[in-house]
């Protein structure tokens, strides 16, 4: 059973609509965020001239500028060490292109998911030293690489860290690497108020400020903020300050794509009007796919490539790898869900699944699917060359990084943050780890209940195409800027149809007591509708005449077919009445 909470309404909605010349749905959504005056609304939407804090107040930034400037002036070999996901790729691109434009002697290295694993490793450091590395800059990793950075320093390498993950905690004390400069808003007393930037957003902010420090115009700003926005959406970070980056990124990518490789990736995916969905579920997966199935350096190569023919070839490669990744994911997810539901694992508070056949590159995706399906933290493990590796995805009420820290006696390496993490462990420890993390879990039954926050009760009289379209100005949606959810009581479902290959999607018409009606669709919950119909002696195949009385929660969407556009309610939850 889910929980519904309606956000309090502290203003006269009718008066707000008149003063701001807006429709009721937007007024409800804005006031639910505390944006109930013209000035607050103006500030919320003014992302182009958003007033960011001074990023040089973040610990380590000023010192990193001195180190990098010295390295450029002395023509030292600089290596950027990134990561194989979207955030790691985009932050590498931002640093590489920004420093290259300053004529730095700069190179990049993306670790291989299988042979290197996550983050720094001594073998990679040795190889880079062999190539003449004098300055190592990590992005989207480094904060937990205590021994690896110690090794690099012993070899005389300067080290700058730009990360956003949690630092190592030992005996309740924070342990930081012995780098020349450490920048991570997650460390204690970091000096900056906004602590949830992704690596791409951080590196964009840092490079923009570095150019100002050098007294130079950051001519790459528009190109780089697009990549920062892609990272911000794909890394699923809070959209406080990040919203300004994500929104500006979407505005610019729809206006003019300066980056040759990104333009070809957009074209091959046949994208026109790009929104945050396309970042998170089209472009992001293409970028991730090469790191999952081959090598993420392919994506970096695409985004620094200026030759049209070569960029087209690389974009096609990413597109094809993503198609392959989709097929593998579908098969693996179905197999693992079947394993969970036909074993005692389903009773666990923390789902820990070890599947030796799973391609290790999609462990995180499968963990995410399990988390969404059961609303439980999920850890998916698979066999690797050196034991067992896996990924974790968690729910809001469970800090998975803290949980792993308490189980480190069973683990090898691990790192991440509150909602997502990666780990490795010896195979013989898998069952011990599963039992221990569940034994120490303090979550109760209520914590697994899905919670919906309702932006306002919306009578059907106030639902219109104009009102639904008007909500688009609140984009991009994400954590801390969620898509508005509305609720309406005493509705009748009729004209019910089950759609899709597996007949799991439910389309229907919803009508209120006054006879106002709207088309609606439900992507999750079809089994609940089917159960209700069976009690009324209807089947999925024969239910067009059935009627069900419900209270419903939904978002307002625009349904487009050829030249026809209409409002469609996307049902998020319902209760039979």
Residue of 450, 393, 448 lying closest to 422 (CA atoms) = 393
**Band of pLDDT at residue 59, cut at 50, 70 and 90:** very high
Q: In this predicted structure, what is the pLDDT of residue 237?
A: 84
CA torsion angle for 334, 336, 340, 341 (degrees, to 10)?
A: 20
Pairing of strands 451-454, 420-425: unpaired
**What residues contact 77, with CB distance under 8 A and at least 6 apart?**
105, 107, 131, 132, 133, 134, 135
Dist CA 406 CA 71 (whole Å): 40
Report the number of secondary-structure helices (H) and strands (E) in the chain: 20, 20
| Dihedral pair phi/psi, residue 471, rounded to 5° | -65, -20
**What 3-state DSSP class applies to 552?**
strand
| pLDDT at residue 473 is higher than 90 | no
Query: Does 224 or 559 have the greater pLDDT score?
Result: 224
Q: Is the peptide bond before 132 cis (omega within 30 degrees of 0)?
A: no
**What 3-state DSSP class applies to 364?**
helix
Dist CA 54 CA 153 (whole Å): 30
| Dihedral pair phi/psi, residue 464, rounded to 5° | -145, 165
**What 3-state DSSP class applies to 205?**
helix
Taking phi first (over 0 means left), then psi (-120 to 50 degrees means alpha), and beta for anything else, what does residue 426 get?
A: beta
The residue-averaged pLDDT of 212-225 equals 97
Q: How many CA atoms lie within 13 A of 476 on its CB side?
A: 31
Residue of 314, 325, 304 lying closest to 265 (CA atoms) = 314
Dihedral sign, CA of 282, 288, 290, 293? negative
> Which of 428-464 are b and which e, b meaning 16 or more Cβ less than 10 Å from the residue's Cβ?
ebbeebbebbbeebeeeeebeeeeeebbbebebebbe
The residue-averaged pLDDT of 347-373 equals 91
pLDDT averaged over the chain?
92
441 neighbors 403 (Cβ within 8 angstroms): yes
Dist CA 400 CA 165 (whole Å): 13
Q: In this predicted structure, what is the pLDDT of residue 261?
A: 98
Angle between helices 86-100 and 297-304 (to 10 degrees): 40
Kind and range of the H or E run holding 492: strand 486-499
Q: In this predicted structure, what is the pLDDT of residue 65?
A: 98
| pLDDT at residue 482 is higher than 90 | no
Residue-by-residue DSSP string for 209-241? HHHHHHT---TTHHHHHHHHHHHHHHTT---TT
Which two structure tokens, joined as six digits, stand for 569? 């309610």
**Band of pLDDT at residue 253, cut at 50, 70 and 90:** very high
542 neighbors 558 (Cβ within 8 angstroms): no
Q: 158-199 pLDDT, tens per residue?
A: 999 999 998 988 888 999 999 999 999 999 999 998 888 999
**What residues contact 521, with CB distance under 8 A and at least 6 apart?**
505, 506, 507, 508, 568, 569, 570, 571
Q: In this predicted structure, what is the pLDDT of residue 171?
A: 83
Which two structure tokens, joined as six digits, stand for 173? 């004390």
Chain-centroid distance of CA 193 in Å reads: 21
Cβ neighbours of 256 (radius 10 Å): 10
**Band of pLDDT at residue 54, cut at 50, 70 and 90:** very high
Q: Show the beta-strand stretches assigned E in 394-468.
A: 414-416, 420-425, 451-454, 456-457
Taking phi first (over 0 means left), then psi (-120 to 50 degrees means alpha), and beta for anything else, what does residue 197 get?
A: beta
Q: Is 217 exposed, middle or buried (0-12, 13-18, 19+ CB in 10 A)?
A: exposed
The residue-averaged pLDDT of 30-57 equals 82
- Range of weakest confidence among 231-235, 378-382, 384-388, 522-526: 384-388
The residue-averaged pLDDT of 225-254 equals 90
Q: How many CA atoms lie within 13 A of 256 on its CB side?
A: 3
Q: In this predicted structure, what is the pLDDT of residue 265?
A: 98
Dist CA 326 CA 248 (whole Å): 30
Rg of the chain over CA atoms, in angstroms? 25
**What 3-state DSSP class applies to 120?**
coil
| pLDDT at residue 262 is higher than 90 | yes
Q: Show the beta-strand stretches assigned E in 300-427.
A: 351-354, 378-384, 387-393, 414-416, 420-425
């Amino acid at each position: 059973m889910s929980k519904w909470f309606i956000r309090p309404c502290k203003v006269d909605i009718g008066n707000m609509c008149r003063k701001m010349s807006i429709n009721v749905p937007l007024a409800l959504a804005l006031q639910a965020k505390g944006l109930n005056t013209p000035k607050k609304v103006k500030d919320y939407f003014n992302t182009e001239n958003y007033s960011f804090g001074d990023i040089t107040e973040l610990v380590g930034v000023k010192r990193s500028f001195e180190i990098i400037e010295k390295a450029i002036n002395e023509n030292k070999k600089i290596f950027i060490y990134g990561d194989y996901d979207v955030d790691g790729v985009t932050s590498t691109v931002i640093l590489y292109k920004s420093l290259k434009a300053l004529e730095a002697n700069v190179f990049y290295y993306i670790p291989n998911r299988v042979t290197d694993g996550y983050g720094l490793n001594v073998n990679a450091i040795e190889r880079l030293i062999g190539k003449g590395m004098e300055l190592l800059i990590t992005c989207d990793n480094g904060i937990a690489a205590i021994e690896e950075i110690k090794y690099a320093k012993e070899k005389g390498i300067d080290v700058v860290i730009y990360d956003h993950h949690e630092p190592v905690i030992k005996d309740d004390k924070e342990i930081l690497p012995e780098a020349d400069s450490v920048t991570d808003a997650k460390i204690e007393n970091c000096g900056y108020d906004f602590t949830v930037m992704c690596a791409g957003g951080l590196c964009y902010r840092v490079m923009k400020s570095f150019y100002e420090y050098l007294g130079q115009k950051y001519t790459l700003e528009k190109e780089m903020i697009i990549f920062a926005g892609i990272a911000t959406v794909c890394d699923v970070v809070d959209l406080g300050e990040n919203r300004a980056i994500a929104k500006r990124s979407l505005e610019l990518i729809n206006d003019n794509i300066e980056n040759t490789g990104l333009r070809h990736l957009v074209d091959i995916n046949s994208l026109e009007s790009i929104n945050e969905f396309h970042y998170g579920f089209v472009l992001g997966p293409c970028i991730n796919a090469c790191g999952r199935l081959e090598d993420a350096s392919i994506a970096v190569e695409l985004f620094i490539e200026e030759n049209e023919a070569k960029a087209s070839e690389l974009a096609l490669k990413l597109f094809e790898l993503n198609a392959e990744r989709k097929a593998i994911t579908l098969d693996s997810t179905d197999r693992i869900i079947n394993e969970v539901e036909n074993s005692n694992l389903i009773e666990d508070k923390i789902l820990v699944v070890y599947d030796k056949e799973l391609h290790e590159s999609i462990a995180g995706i499968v963990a995410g699917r399990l988390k969404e399906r059961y609303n439980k933290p999920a850890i998916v493990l698979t066999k690797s060359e050196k034991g067992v590796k896996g990924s974790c995805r968690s729910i809001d009420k469970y800090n998975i990084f803290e949980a792993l820290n308490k189980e480190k006696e069973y683990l090898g390496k691990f790192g991440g943050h509150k909602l997502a993490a990666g780990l490795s462990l010896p195979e013989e420890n898998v069952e011990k780890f599963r039992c221990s993390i569940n034994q120490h879990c303090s979550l109760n039954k209520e914590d697994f209940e899905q919670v919906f926050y309702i932006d306002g009760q919306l009578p059907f009289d106030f639902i219109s195409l104009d009102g639904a379209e008007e909500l688009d100005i609140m984009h991009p949606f994400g954590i801390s800027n969620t898509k508005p959810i509305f609720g309406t009581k005493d509705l009748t479902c009729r004209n019910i149809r089950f759609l899709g290959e597996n007949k799991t999607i439910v389309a229907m018409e919803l009508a209120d007591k006054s006879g106002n009606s709207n088309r609606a669709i439900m992507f999750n919950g079809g089994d609940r509708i089917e159960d209700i119909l069976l009690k009324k002696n209807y089947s999925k195949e024969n239910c067009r005449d059935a009627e069900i009385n419900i209270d419903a929660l939904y978002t307002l969407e625009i349904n487009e077919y050829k030249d026809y556009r209409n409002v469609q309610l996307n049902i998020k939850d319902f209760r039979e009445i």
